[in-house]
Amino acid sequence: MAPEPTHPGEPSPAVPPRSPRRAPSSEDRRRDAERSRQALLDAALDEFAAKGYDGARVQDIAARAGVNKQLIAYYFGGKEGLYQEIQRHWPEAEAERADPDLPLADTAAQYLTAALADPRPARLVVWRGLTGAGTDSDYLDDAANVGTDLANLRRAQERGEIAPELDPAFVRMAVMSMVLAPLMLPEAALRATGMEPGSVEFEEYYRTQLRTLIRRLGDGEEVGR
């Protein structure tokens, strides 16, 4: 409808033609798809870490990501595929931290820093241990990672960082437990230390204590100073 004339008898002003709506380019669609996909991965990591595989619901993941839940099936084939995808690149990060030439105390400190910076992957490990969910498709602690860790621990033992009577398999479990402890038992850590887990003060304190204790694994003498 043309606008009314400003004064009687005056012609109505011309209405400028509307520009045709530009269809999104293939590059725009690709960027939109990647944003939706990444939003789902981030939301899924939050949900799986908070509720475990069985407790996480696709509608909650989609709502957290702000997208239609049908996109989970479209991009990942469903909940299980999404669970696998959020873990697919973690072995690369594991390989960076599992330097066979790095002293064990330094390796443990790196794992601690990563876990405190983003506790969600560690929480997935714990959920899996409690429920058994995802054991057939889990990248976090598969046989290859375990074998690499044990080989690196044997090298550390040969360097004198681990006493000969200590089994590398036990040392691996003990170090993992120490790294996970402030994440899994935050109230116990707070009561014991008087510091809030996740604070800079606690991280500096706990990293120092962890490194000192691990250095004592080698025949009671500090190694790698």
pLDDT tens readout for residues 109-144? 999 999 999 999 888 888 888 887 655 555 555 667
Sign, CA dihedral 208-212-214-215, equals positive
163 has a pLDDT exceeding 90:
yes
Give me the mean pLDDT over the 53-75 stretch: 94
And the tokens for 213?
A: 């204790």
- In this prediction, what percent of the chain has a pLDDT beyond 90? 59
CA-CA distance, 225 to 207, in Å (whole number)?
15
What's the pLDDT at 222?
Answer: 47
Tokens 């621990």 locate to 153
And the tokens for 185?
A: 């038992």
What's the pLDDT at 225?
Answer: 45
Tokens 């375990």 locate to 146
CA-CA distance, 3 to 51, in Å (whole number)?
58
pLDDT tens across 192-204, in order?
A: 999 999 899 999 9
And the tokens for 51?
A: 């509720």
CA-CA distance, 169 to 150, in Å (whole number)?
6
If phi over 0 gives left and psi between -120 and 50 gives alpha, with beta otherwise, what is residue 212? Answer: alpha
CB atoms within 10 A of CB 212: 11
Task: Answer yes or no: are the C-beta atoms of 69 and 59 closer than 8 Å.
Answer: yes
What's the pLDDT at 209?
Answer: 97
Q: How distant, in Å, are the alpha carbons of 83, 131, 136, 181, 206 from that of 193?
A: 35, 30, 38, 13, 9
What's the pLDDT at 141?
Answer: 56
Domains of the chain: 31-85 (1.10.10.60), 90-215 (1.10.357)
Cβ neighbourhood burial of 3 (10 Å; 0-12, 13-18, 19+): exposed
Q: Which helix (H) or strand (E) holds 177?
A: helix 168-184
CB atoms within 10 A of CB 136: 8
Angle separating helix axes 104-117 and 90-97, nearest 10 degrees: 140
**Across the chain, how many H-helices and E-strands are there?**
11, 0
